């Protein structure tokens, strides 16, 4: 987030929800944040456009549009945005959360889950939840219970050594400094930095950096920016190298994502 105080918005949640599964959606402006809060229900969060970041304690979680994020009941959290974001939340009564993960994590969103979310979003202005919608919400929850849990697609860290490195890369995804150079920038060794990556992120710094570039490319692709411009800003000398990386991580080319994934 920017150093300025973000514009605060009230969470979509209310403890007075009248049904065991409730769907809500909203647009959030850029550089905005929900207050830190928790609630008695589980929550599945998904962004139709843009990327919604979730802060839980000292950790930052972020998932692109192939994933949603699951929050078990009573987890204190905060949602933040860097760019304008359209997102939804599925609130699940505690007694229905048994099939869901017992810790926060990103979940793979299947084409069926996305189609249901889009259908619910299209009719979310309707004041009452019909019997048909209640059945659809139950199908959605059943599908989420079977979804692959991938931890966090792009985890963050407030570690004293690793945190500044991640923040520097977030500020400039095209930064091509080597791991040794990044380690020296925080006055540590490359070996120590790599150990912190595995401990804090569960992946190498090289993998994390590629995932960051994919996440930052997605809203630009949705907005119609060229692959060449995005590749250059992501630190690639050729568009083909960027396309190969994007395909490896997402299973589709940037143009394929622009046409279908977006």
pLDDT score of 2 more than 60 = no
pLDDT score of 3 more than 60 = no
Is the torsion defined by CA of 73, 74, 76, 78 positive or negative?
positive
Rounded mean pLDDT, 154-178 = 93
Query: What pLDDT is attached to residue 215?
Result: 85
The answer to whether the CB of 147 falls within 8 A of the CB of 108 is: yes
pLDDT score of 173 more than 60 = yes
Instruction: Express as a percent the part of the chain with pLDDT over 70.
Output: 90
List CB contacts of 116: < 8 A, sequence separation 6 or more: 136, 139, 140, 143
Query: What pLDDT is attached to residue 156?
Result: 83
What is the torsion angle, in degrees rounded to the nearest 10, for the CA atoms of residue 210, residue 213, residue 214 and residue 215? 120
Alpha-carbon span 22 to 4, nearest angstrom: 33
What is the torsion angle, in degrees rounded to the nearest 10, for the CA atoms of residue 9, residue 15, residue 16 and residue 17? 80
Dump pLDDT digits (tens) for 181-207.
999 999 999 999 999 999 999 899 999
Instruction: Express as a percent the part of the chain with pLDDT over 90.
Output: 56
Label the pairing between strands 21-28 and 52-56. unpaired
Dump pLDDT digits (tens) for 42-66.
999 998 877 778 888 767 787 677 7
Q: How many residues does the chain have?
A: 262
Rounded mean pLDDT, 16-43 = 86
Cα–Cα–Cα angle for 106, 111, 114, nearest 5°? Answer: 65
pLDDT score of 143 more than 80 = yes
Alpha-carbon span 15 to 88, nearest angstrom: 17
Dump pLDDT digits (tens) for 77-94.
988 877 778 889 999 999
pLDDT band at 155 (very low <50, low <70, confident <90, very high): confident
- For residue 89, the cross-strand partners are 24, 45
When mean pLDDT is compared across 38-42, 47-51, 132-136, 221-225, the lowest value belongs to 47-51
Query: What pLDDT is attached to residue 51?
Result: 72
Ramachandran angles phi, psi of 207, nearest 5°: -65, -45
pLDDT band at 5 (very low <50, low <70, confident <90, very high): very low
Domains of the chain: 7-145 (2.60.120.280), 162-261 (1.10.10.60)
Q: Nearest to residue 120, comparing CAs of 108, 109, 134, 106?
A: 134
Rounded mean pLDDT, 145-159 = 85
Q: How far is CA 240 from CA 3, 37, 258, in A?
A: 35, 44, 16
Rounded mean pLDDT, 103-117 = 92
- For residue 44, the cross-strand partners are 70, 90
pLDDT score of 247 more than 80 = yes
Query: What pLDDT is attached to residue 86?
Result: 86
Q: Nearest to residue 85, comparing CAs of 208, 222, 214, 212?
A: 222
């Amino acid at each position: 987030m920017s150093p300025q105080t973000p514009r605060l918005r009230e969470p979509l949640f209310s403890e007075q929800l009248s049904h065991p599964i409730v769907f809500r959606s909203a647009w959030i402006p850029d550089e905005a944040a929900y207050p830190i809060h928790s609630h008695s229900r589980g929550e599945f969060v998904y962004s139709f456009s843009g990327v919604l970041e979730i802060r839980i304690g000292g950790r930052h979680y972020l998932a692109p549009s192939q994933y949603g994020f699951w929050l078990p009941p009573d987890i204190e959290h905060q949602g933040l945005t860097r760019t304008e974001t359209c997102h939804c939340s599925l609130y699940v009564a505690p007694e229905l959360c048994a099939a869901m993960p017992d810790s926060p994590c990103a979940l793979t969103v299947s084409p069926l889950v996305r189609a249901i979310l889009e259908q619910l979003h299209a009719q979310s202005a309707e004041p009452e939840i019909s019997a048909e919608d209640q059945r659809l919400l139950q199908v959605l929850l059943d599908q989420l219970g079977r979804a692959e849990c991938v931890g966090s697609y792009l985890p963050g860290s407030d570690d004293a050594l690793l945190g500044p490195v991640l923040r520097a890369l977030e500020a400039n995804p095209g930064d091509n400094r080597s791991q040794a150079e990044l380690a020296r920038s925080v006055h540590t060794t490359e070996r120590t930095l790599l150990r912190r990556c595995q401990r804090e992120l569960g992946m190498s710094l090289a993998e994390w950096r590629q995932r960051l570039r994919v996440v930052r490319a997605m809203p630009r692709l949705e907005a119609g920016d060229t692959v060449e411009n995005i590749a250059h800003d992501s630190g690639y000398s050729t568009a083909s190298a960027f396309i190969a990386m994007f395909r490896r991580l997402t299973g589709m080319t940037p143009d394929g994502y622009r046409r279908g994934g977006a």
